[in-house]
Structure 1
Amino acid sequence: MQTTTQSNPNLRSLTGLRFLAMLPVFLTHAAFEGVFTDEEVSWGFLDAMGTTGYMAVSFFFVLSGFVITWSYRPTDTPRAFWRRRFFRVFPNHVVSYVLALALLSSVGLGVGVLPSVTQLFLVQSWVPDPVFTDTGNSASWSLVVDVAFYAIFPALLTLVHRIGPNRLWYWVGGMVAGVALVPAVALAVLPDTPGMPLGGVSTSQYWLTHFFPLFRLLECVLGMLMARIVLTGTWIRLRVLPASLLVVLAYGLAQQVPFLYRLNAVTVLPVALLTAAVAVADAGGRGTPFDNKVMVWFGELSFAFYLLHNLVLKYGHLLLGHTEEEGELVGRTWGIPGGIALIAAGFAVSLLLAWVLHNGVEKPVMRRWSRRKRTPVTEVIT
């Protein structure tokens, strides 16, 4: 455990970087909507996004492990930690869940009882069936990983703190190797059918690599290890700019390998190095492009934005007009100016709703219930 009870420096740049990472997630989901009448433009948009959204999701898992380890205090208790995490996640999730059901109803769609229940209680990603992960507020699948990570974090932290500082980098290598091994396992042991529309892989292979919480926990633990490396002074002194270039180079390399390896296997280590490099810059008082007030403000809204943006894109698109093709609802399309305007409007509406959710639910709930109220001590005079 950490030997100091003092708080570590605030990681403003990582907060700002959160929203920068949200942009490819938003744009990837926008590309999947196919809002352009010209199919070449729609497919070109999707091709241009590549696997940037997947890399961003990997960053969020690494970031979660890093930040929670960085901020955890020896005086904290598992119960207090779980209380804070519960009130951080579930109120926003429930609001977005109810909104998703309302929007589904508004376009004449429904959700099966079992998938709906699993999504409410954030266990849907454990089920290897797209019906469970692609329904309602489909973005909430990643919260299943977060909840699993939070549940075992106190135990994981104890184990991570038992690793000697001189061995932390070996464990980093082990986590990276584990992440890279997952797609190989999926391709080797799972059937090739039924196939997905993209990627040339089966739905079960994709589920094991992308959704399965147990394997995504490897990225969270990698984030924990990187935090311990920084806190124990065993960081390699890599600066933000070269770390950023490594991410860009790794992403370019990832586009040359089979689809499942593109999701996170090639990019997870550079992403973890960038996370640590940004934290070191913050701790050392060095400015970064991500620590200005605007970026930090956007970053504070990122969790609410993440939960709401796909609802706005998907159901907003359908509410503007749709047809039924082969049993599925397909939203109307526009020319290039109209499609760009629609995506920009989706971003603006998502941001506005995120501000409302953050300030109307997330912050008040955290202030009111995330910490146990201290019982006033009455002095007894004898």
Structure 2
Amino acid sequence: MRTDLNNELATKPHYPILDGLRGVAAIIVVTFHLAEPFSTSNLDKFVNHGYLAVDFFFLLSGFVMGYAYDDRWNKMTVGNFFKRRVIRLQPMVVLGMTLGAIGFYFTDSTLWPLIHTVPLWKMLLVMLVGYTILPVPLSLDIRGWEEMHPLNSVGWSLFFEYIANILYAVWIRKFSKTTLTILVGVAAIALVHLAITNGDVSGGWTLNVEQVCIGLTRVMFPFFAGLLLSRIAKPTKIKNALLWCSLLVAIVLYMPRIGGAGHLWLNGIYDSVCIIIVFPLIVYLGASGVMQSQKEHKVCKFLGDISYPLYLAHYPIVYFYVAWISNNKGMTIAQAWPYALLILMGSIVLAYAALKWYDEPVRKWLRKYY
């Protein structure tokens, strides 16, 4: 890629509050996974709608993608676009899968009784495939949870984000606003159907037809709605946007289940409203936000910087935590919360260390030589 384009993309102003909101959502994802072992189903999870953070990430990504690249295509090839995306995303994918592999044989639990029977070559094969973010077939499900990425569960959402990136670069970036609006409308209908039929949009991490359809449905509306929003939104100036948007994100994701077992469709409506209306509103407000102080700017930068490393690095630690909960039958969240808090804080420290000692240096090296 030409150096002038690299400099232009690197120096183009971005939205610091949106960076901060990504970090807020990533922290809530960690709390979602730490509370999950105490639930018996989607109906009684403590952080009940934490799964919607993925849909929020998709919408943020679509918005930022449109803002960063829509007006650059006369200076950039599709190949250069993908090179930039790989340099941005893959180093942490590699680290996340490596951390999962390192911890794989140490998670003794009744949840995964066959882990120690998995040959080393098979685990290494799963790790190497994971480095590419391509999903592994069920025949390589070495953990037994039917996950696309048994060494680091959260990799599934990166797989679908890559699909959205490919669709954007190869095809959908050329859409007019009208055509893109039609696509987003059709995707919204599919999303509502999924949510109301299933009672929620949770799913997408297994390599079978049903789950892949869920994953595609989950990514298509928010990602391309974010792209559309970036093309039509005219941000204003809103004070205290970080505070209010963070509160909205927290309220949405911590909201208890709606409707219960008898009225699953009500929760489906809640998910639909959040993804189709509330999340675009939050992104618009965040993009309109005005930094109030240097301290607020530093907070947003820190949260934005750790968001992606935190998302990729926390789950290998969560596997140990889940195993510990499983091995101590009767453990309550009241007893476990100090350990959960310790893991949350440790995950944030690990994410920051990964950012400074690994992710940023590796990306800098890759940009220099590739």
Over the matched positions of the two proteins, sequence identity in percent amounts to: 20
TM-score (norm 1): 0.71
Residue of structure 1 in register with 2:162 after alignment: 147
Give secondary structure in 1 for the equivalent of 2:272. coil
Q: What is the correspondence of 1:104-123 to structure 2 with a 5 Å cutoff?
A: 104-107=104-107, 109=115, 113=122, 118-123=129-134
> What is the CA-CA distance between 1:273 and the residue it aligns to?
2.1
Q: Which residue type is aligned with residue 80 of structure 2?
A: A
Aligned length: 332
Residue 258 of structure 1 corresponds to 264
Aligned to 1:90: 90
1:288 shift after superposition: 9.8
| Secondary structure at 1:354 match in 2 | helix
Residue 150 of structure 2 is aligned to residue 135 of structure 1: yes
Structure 1 counterpart SS, 2:327: strand
Counterpart of 1:305? Answer: 310
- 1:70-119 Cα deviation digits (max 9, x unpaired): 11123232222211211222221112212111211123525684765653
What do residues 145-179 of structure 1 show as CA deviations (whole Å, max 9, x unaligned)? 1222222321245333x225xx7656544432232
CA distance in 2, matches of 1:313, 1:367: 29
Unaligned runs of 5+ in 1: 188-197, 323-328, 374-382
Partner residue, 2:37: 33
- Residues 1-382 of structure 1: pairs in structure 2 closer than 5 A: 9-34=13-38, 47-51=45-49, 53-72=50-69, 73-74=72-73, 75-107=75-107, 109=115, 113=122, 118-124=129-135, 130-133=145-148, 135-160=150-175, 162-164=176-178, 172-183=184-195, 207-208=211-212, 210=214, 212-213=215-216, 215-230=218-233, 233=234, 255-256=258-259, 258=264, 261=268, 264-269=271-276, 270-281=278-289, 285=290, 287=292, 291-316=296-321, 318=323, 330=327, 334=331, 338-370=335-367
Deviations for 1:302-321, whole angstroms, at most 9, x for unmatched residues?
11111121211221453xx5
Partner Cα separation in structure 2 for residue 121 and residue 225 of structure 1: 29
Q: Kindly indicate whether the alpha-carbon contact (under 8 Å) linking 2:195 and 2:271 is maintained by their aligned counterparts in 1.
A: no
Q: 1:332 to 1:311 in 2, by over 3 A?
A: farther
Question: What displacement does 1:33 show?
Answer: 2.8
Instruction: After TM superposition, give the deviation of residue 277 of structure 1 in Å.
Output: 2.2
Between stretches 261-270 and 108-117, larger displacement belongs to 108-117
Contact 1:62-1:222 at 8 Å conserved across structures: yes
User: SS of 2:346's equivalent?
Assistant: helix
Q: What's the offset of the Cα at 1:371?
A: 5.6
Tell me if structure 1 keeps the 8 A contact 2:26–2:311. Answer: yes
Out of 236-245 and 99-108, give the one that drifted further.
236-245
**C-alpha contact 1:301 1:358 (8 A) present in aligned 2:** yes
Alpha-carbon distance, 1:143 to partner: 1.0
Using the alignment, how far apart are the partners of 1:246 and 1:185 within structure 2? Answer: 24
User: Is the contact made by 2:36 and 2:47 (CA closer than 8 Å) also made in structure 1?
Assistant: no
The answer to whether the 8 A contact 1:62-1:219 is kept is yes
> Per-residue deviation at 1:258?
2.2
Checking the alignment, whether the CA contact within 8 Å between 2:62 and 2:224 is kept in structure 1 is yes
Q: Which amino acid aligns with 1:121?
A: T
Q: Is the partner of 1:219 in helix, strand or coil?
A: helix
The Cα shift of 1:134 comes to: 6.4
CA shift digits 1:225-251 (9 cap, x unpaired): 111112xx4x79999559976995899
Tell me the amino acid that sits aligned with residue 153 of structure 1: Y
Verify the 8 A CA contact 1:119 1:132 in the aligned structure 2.
Answer: no
Helix, strand or coil: the match of 1:131?
Answer: coil
Instruction: Say which one has the larger Rg.
Output: 1
Question: 1:328-370 CA deviation, whole Å, 9 max, x = no partner?
Answer: x635665666411101110121111111211122111221213
> How large is the Cα RMSD of the aligned pairs?
4.3
Q: 1:253 to 1:297 in 2, by over 3 A?
A: closer
Partner Cα distance (2:59, 2:137) in 1: 20
The change in CA–CA distance for 1:238 and 1:272 in structure 2 (over 3 A counts) is: farther
| Letter in structure 2 aligned against 1:258 | L
Q: Distance in 2 between matches of 1:89 and 1:203?
A: 21
Counterparts in 2 of 1:339 and 1:80: CA distance versus 1, 3 Å: same
Task: Judging by fraction of residues, say which structure has more helix.
Answer: 2
Are 1:100 and 1:137, in contact at CA under 8 Å, matched by a contact in 2? yes
What's the TM-score, normalizing by structure 2? 0.73
